[in-house]
Structure 1
Amino acid sequence: MDTLLEAPSMAKRPRFLELSDSSGPSLHLSFEKLLDSRACDSDQNLLIDRALRLGSALLEAGKRSARKRASIHNSLTWALPPDLTIKVFSMLDTQSLCYTAATCSMFHKCAMDPLCYANIDLTTVVPKVNNAVVSTMIQRAGKVLQSLRLGIVPGPTLSPGSSQPLVYTIRNSVDAAGFSWNDKRSRQGKESSILSRSCLTALSGDSGAAGALLKRLHLYNIERMDNTALCAALSACPSLLDLEIVGLHVELRQTLMSVSTNCHLIERLFFESSKTGRDDSLKSPTCVDLVNNCPHLTSLALRGFKLHDYKVRILVKVFSCATRKD
């Protein structure tokens, strides 16, 4: 023990590695005797510090060796070549993919392929995804990103035709496990697991490469999302076919204007208001522009908006005429 803690280097293999698992008490007694042999507290503290650093170094060395051996074992026994492994990984949900990437270096390398992140689903029941996670996933996908789902969904994801509202107020919610927004906020001291208005900034990065081919964008109950941030994200998604917006504090008029300006290929638009109330900002020209600029639009749902009857009639009439033309 004395030689182990004091010698800076050893040419021979450490004998203590040959000790059995039941040698813990004897090691403890030996270390106590070694401490007692030191005359002053400073020497004893130095010895304890050396023991802790040595133990930490041994632990890390053991972990590295275990990961290396696991990677070698997997590379020899895993039946699929890398391209098929990537194909399999691309079928996993986002959370399972992250777990898979953490198993060994071989799986991690395959899981870092952009194709594995073509369909990103980071929806959760309670807040546990932040902007950094979203940005990392989008950057990994790059220009192959096809689908992106973010936010808080209350319970199992509902079918598009369901009449049950998806709007979810995070601050007043407690899930079955006793999770509370206010409790989490006070425990953490900072809102590290909350999506903010900049969570979609990565779509515009690298000259908009990530958003260029995005086909589906579903956003649920991101309370801090505003009109400016949403419109900036939509401007980076010219290939968008399916847009679902639920519980965001954004105006109907500005959202429809942004869709009609930037998303000419849109086929489905589902918009559920975060609060029930009359929206007087929507103008008739906005409805006309939406249908005229988005000729492929075949499904439109505006839930929770108390629109004036004449605006609804104009929207339905123009939408019906455009549908008959097809």
Structure 2
Amino acid sequence: MAKRPCPSQNPRVDNLNDVERLLDAFLSLSDLPSLSLDLSFERLLHSLPPDSDLIDRALKMGSLLLDAAKHSSRKRASNHNSLAWPLPPDLTIKVFSMLDTQSLCYASATCSLFSKCAKDPLCYANLDLTTLVPKVNNAVVATMIQRAGKALRSLKLGVVPGATTLGSCPPFVCTIRHSIVEVSNFSWNDKRSRQGRESSILTRCCLSPLSGDGGAPGALLRKLHLYNIERMDNASLSVALSACPSLLDLEIVGL
């Protein structure tokens, strides 16, 4: 039986070592004046046939080096943040759970440390996806509800108009205790109360994720506020409410 070659006898390892040495020598040229590099590149280009792809290869190599450097920079910054951040993960998650949903998303995109903490369902227990203009769709709602899972306690959704137009559309507020509200008497198609108001891009299926995963997301939901979701209908709302047996606070604006 042939012996397994040691790392020094592995052609792939030797090749990688050669690449590292060549890369180290190449990067040492970064201390040279840019004019020297320009002249050297021009001389090399003129020494090759006119149809040479040297320029394309140089651009590709520059792009690869830039991507590798950015990746390493992010990794180094992440390691630094892990050491410098004063709070342990459990307290970081607690702080994140106090942020509004938009700020939480911004924090999650800051670094891998925050991104990891922001994946905890407790951070999404109280979702506020309301906006002044329509820019939240069903996919965003589904993603956020899935992140919250059974930790979801409060959900605010829809388009909240400015204070000047809110008065023309009084809210319907209902307190529920261990019962499902009857919505069959309300008309969702009456446009008279919606004049001058932005149209929502949310559809009647926007609350369907509450019934997903065996009904876990809606099981412990206590507060549900819906604002100006024009495409919602009685049947879809009834299905959504039936998935929320613990609901205590229901507010619907835009009937």
Query: Same-fold call, TM > 0.5?
Result: yes
Query: By how many angstroms is 1:59 displaced?
Result: 2.3
Query: By how many angstroms is 1:239 displaced?
Result: 1.0
Query: By how many angstroms is 1:61 displaced?
Result: 1.7
Amino acid in structure 2 at the alignment position of 1:65: S
Question: Cα deviations across residues 269-290 of structure 1 (Å, max 9, x unaligned)?
Answer: xxxx2xxxxxxxxxxxxxxxxx
Tell me the percent identity. Answer: 68
Q: Name the CA distance, whole Å, in 2 between partners of 1:52 and 1:208.
A: 53
**Aligned pair 1:165/2:174, yes or no?**
no
- Counterpart pick for 1:221 among 212, 217, 228: 228
Query: By how many angstroms is 1:30 displaced?
Result: 4.3
**Residues 161 and 198, structure 2, Cα contact 8 Å, conserved in 1:** no
Which structure is higher in RCO with an 8 Å CA cutoff and minimum separation 6?
Answer: 2
Unaligned runs of at least 5 residues, structure 1 = 1-6, 172-192, 248-272, 274-326
Q: Name the CA distance, whole Å, in 1 between partners of 2:252 and 2:202.
A: 15
Query: By how many angstroms is 1:72 displaced?
Result: 1.5
Secondary structure of 2:72's counterpart equals helix
**Aligned pair 1:54/2:64, yes or no?**
no
Question: Cα deviations across residues 245-293 of structure 1 (Å, max 9, x unaligned)?
Answer: 222xxxxxxxxxxxxxxxxxxxxxxxxx2xxxxxxxxxxxxxxxxxxxx
Q: Name the CA distance, whole Å, in 2 between partners of 1:225 and 1:157.
A: 24
CA gap 1:51/1:246 in 2 versus in 1, 3 angstroms: farther
**Aligned pair 1:239/2:246, yes or no?**
yes
CA gap 1:38/1:77 in 2 versus in 1, 3 angstroms: same
Instruction: Give 1:102-251 correspondences, 5 Å limit.
Output: 102-155=109-162, 163=167, 165=169, 169-170=197-198, 194-247=201-254
Amino acid in structure 2 at the alignment position of 1:14: D
Unaligned runs of at least 5 residues, structure 2 = 1-14, 171-193
The equivalent residue for 1:259 is none
Query: By how many angstroms is 1:134 displaced?
Result: 1.1
Q: Name the CA distance, whole Å, in 2 between partners of 1:31 and 1:225.
A: 64
**Aligned pair 1:11/2:38, yes or no?**
no
Q: Name the CA distance, whole Å, in 2 between partners of 1:157 and 1:207.
A: 41
Q: Name the CA distance, whole Å, in 1 between partners of 2:57 and 2:201.
A: 41
TM-score (norm 2): 0.73
Amino acid in structure 2 at the alignment position of 1:125: L
Question: Cα deviations across residues 48-76 of structure 1 (Å, max 9, x unaligned)?
Answer: 44333323322222222222222221221
Equivalenced residue count is 215
Q: Once superposed, what is the RMSD of the aligned Cα atoms?
A: 2.9
Secondary structure of 2:20's counterpart equals coil
Question: Cα deviations across residues 23-45 of structure 1 (Å, max 9, x unaligned)?
Answer: 4555455445444444354x33x
The equivalent residue for 1:181 is none
Query: By how many angstroms is 1:233 displaced?
Result: 1.3
TM-score (norm 1): 0.58
The equivalent residue for 2:70 is 63
Q: Name the CA distance, whole Å, in 2 between partners of 1:198 and 1:24.
A: 58
**Residues 161 and 197, structure 2, Cα contact 8 Å, conserved in 1:** no
